[in-house]
Amino acid sequence: MPDARVRTRFAPSPTGALHFGSVRTALFAWLTARHAGGDFILRIEDTDQERYIPGSEALILETLSWLGLNWDEGPEVGGPHDPYIQSLRIATYREHAEKLVDGGHAYWCTCTPARLAAMREAQRARSEPTRYDRRCLTRQADVTQEREGGMAAVVRLRMPDGVSDWDDVVRGRVSFANSDIDDQVLLKSDGFPTYHLAVVVDDHLMEISHVIRSDEWIPSTPKHLALYAAFGWDVPRFAHVPAVLGPDHQKLSKRRGARNVLEYGELGYLPSAIVNCIALLGWSSGDEQEVFALEELCQRFTLERVNPAAAIFDPKRLDDLNGIHIRRMSTDELVEALEFHLPGTSKETRRMLVPMLRERMVTLADATRLCAPLLGEVKLDLSIEFPPKKVDQATAVAMIDACIEAVEEGALEDHDAMLERLRAVAERSGVKSRDAFRVLYIAILGTPAGLPVIEAMEFLGKEKTLQRLREARARLG
Residues that bind ligand GLU (CB under 6 A): 11-13, 45, 195, 199, 213, 217
| Residue of 186, 160, 179, 148 whose CA lies nearest to 104 | 160
Closer residue to ligand GLU, CB minimum distance, 168 or 458: 168
Helix (H, G, I), strand (E, B) or coil at 134: coil
* Residue 13 or 110 with smaller CB distance to ligand GLU: 13
- Residue nearest ligand GLU by beta-carbon distance: 213
For residue 269, the SS3 value is coil
Q: Can you state the angle between helices 90-102 and 195-205, rounded to 10 degrees? A: 100
Residue length, the chain?
477
Q: How far is the CB of 254 from ligand GLU (least distance, A)?
A: 10
Q: How far is the CB of 199 from ligand GLU (least distance, A)?
A: 5
Nearer to ligand GLU, 223 or 438 (CB): 223
Nearer to ligand GLU, 158 or 213 (CB): 213
Q: Tell me the longest C-alpha to C-alpha distance in the chain.
A: 104
Characterise 286 by phi-psi region: left (phi > 0), alpha (psi -120 to 50), beta (else). left
Q: Which residues are bridge partners to 8 per DSSP? A: 40, 210
Alpha helices in 68-126 (DSSP H): 90-102, 113-125
Contacts of 130 (CB under 8 A, 6+ apart): 120, 123, 124
**Backbone angles phi and psi of 210, in degrees to 5:** -130, 120
Q: Is 254 a catalytic residue?
A: yes
Please identify, using beta-carbon distances, which residue of 238 and 386 lies nearer to ligand GLU: 238
Bridge-based pairing state of the strands 185-187 and 244-245: unpaired
Task: Please report how close the Cβ of residue 54 comes to ligand GLU at its closest, in angstroms.
Answer: 17
Between residues 214 and 285, which has the closer beta carbon with respect to ligand GLU? 214
The alpha carbon torsion through 400, 406, 412, 418 (nearest 10 deg) reads -80
Selecting among 188, 223, 251, 254, the annotated active-site residue is 254
Q: Looking at residue 280, what DSSP letter applies?
A: T
Q: Are 73 and 39 in contact (CB under 8 A)?
A: yes
Phi, psi at 106, each rounded to 5°:
-150, 165
Q: Minimum distance between the CB of residue 86 and ligand GLU, rounded to whole angstroms? A: 9
Whether the Cβ atoms of residue 311 and residue 242 lie closer than 8 Å to each other: yes
Supply the minimum distance, in Å, between the C-beta of residue 33 and ligand GLU: 14
Nearest approach in angstroms of CB 101 to ligand GLU is 23
**Residue positions annotated with a catalytic role:** 254
